[in-house]
Amino acid sequence: MPFLRSTAALAALFALPVAAAAQDFNAAPPNAPDQTPAFEGQTRAPVLADDIALETTVITDGLEHPWGMAQLPDGGWLVTERPGRLRIVSAEGALSDPIGGLPEISAGGQGGLLDVLIAPDFAETRRLWISYAAPAEGGNHTAVATATLSQDNATLENVQPIFAQVPVYDGDKHFGSRLLLDGQGNLFVTLGERSDVPIRDSAQQDDNHLGKLLRIDAMTGEPAEGNPDLGLPEIWAKGLRNVQAAALDGSGQLWTIEHGPKGGDELNRIEAGKNYGWPVITYGVSYQDEPINDGITQADGMEQPLYYWDPVIAPSGMVFYRGEMFPEWQGQILTGAMQGDHGLVRLQLDGDRVGGEGRHLQGIGRVRDVDLAADGAVMLLTDKPDGELVRVTRE
């Protein structure tokens, strides 16, 4: 049933004073105090002054660990739930029954039904893509399928798996996996390195998909034309940990934000054929406070992050703001935070450097995905057993 709930009364609580916010996130001690940034401004950018009062409206709740979303032409939203359900939330907040026809999904730990993406011509073709953890002999792996949504919105039709990560691994962590169209008929797919020691070291090897970013034909899954030579022909970049935030800027350039270990979340501007270092270099330590491998932060042939967080924000979901509702944010990065009640994180770019950071809606909970509505409102998914689709507007 429609659930629209305005939380204007809580907006003042969420819009913390700038001075308090500065103390909250730039004064916190790092997890890796002996590490130093490679250049000025690589971490702990100045806090952005912002006096915009925000209002949040819960469009619907009752979503079980929602993970990804895509806006439909009629103003509704396709939303994935990690346990293996795809639903539609209408513009008025009505929550549909689960959509049928999904492929078999391995739901457990961090795995399940993950991202969803619709074609630019969805109104005519009904074309969409989903990423998910798929069961396989010996464990599971991240997979991608394309399908069409039936005219009555009840089921997926013509389901065609187009990609499955190799190798299969018996684990429940670090599946990735954001999906983005590159505007040339190809699909970017972000993939995790499955977390465990020693398999995470496979992110540096060229015979597998672990810790890689792929560029494949969106319809067939074949390697995209013009990919670099990084071993397997579908690989676009390597040395990534677990990318769950990715977006194209106004020029079509791909950017990602990945989860670090304890410290070391990274913003990267992805270039074809580049090695982003994990787990050889990282601005973080293990969850046991031990160095990762040799504990170094720089190495020849490996890219430095444009920005990193220590302590982490646990980033998931990402957009470059383009809209009329918040002209002050035009061109800035918005990403969700799932750690430490940091809410919605905003980065102001100065070229390819971060010139300032702001945090909004602190206390809203784990923000798993971020998107923009057609009118420029910011849409959030909160990741919890009773998750919400939230609309953020000016008060």
Point out the residues that are catalytic. Answer: 174
Which amino acid, residue 84?
G
The shares of helix, strand and coil residues in the chain, as percent rounded to the nearest 5, are: 5, 40, 50
> Angle at the Cα of 368 (from 333 to 172), degrees rounded to 5?
125
Specify which residues 274 forms β-bridges with. none
User: What distances in angstroms separate CA 275 from CA 16, 70, 162, 236, 281, one per listed residue?
Assistant: 38, 30, 25, 10, 11
- Cβ density class 307-325: b for 16+ within 10 Å, e for less: bbbbbbbbbbbbbbbebeb
Helix (H) or strand (E) holding 124: helix 122-125
Q: In sequence order, which residues have a C-beta less than 8 Å from that of residue 288 and are 6 or more positions away? A: none
**Listed residue (58, 77, 69, 70) closest to 10, CA to CA:** 58
Instruction: Please state, in angstroms and rounded to a whole number, the distance separating the CA atoms of residues 14 and 10.
Output: 6
User: What distances in angstroms separate CA 390 from CA 99, 157, 183, 200, 376, one per listed residue?
Assistant: 21, 29, 28, 35, 14
> Angle at the Cα of 116 (from 277 to 358), degrees rounded to 5?
60
Q: Are 358 and 364 in contact (CB under 8 A)?
A: no
The pair of structure tokens assigned to 136 is 């396989």
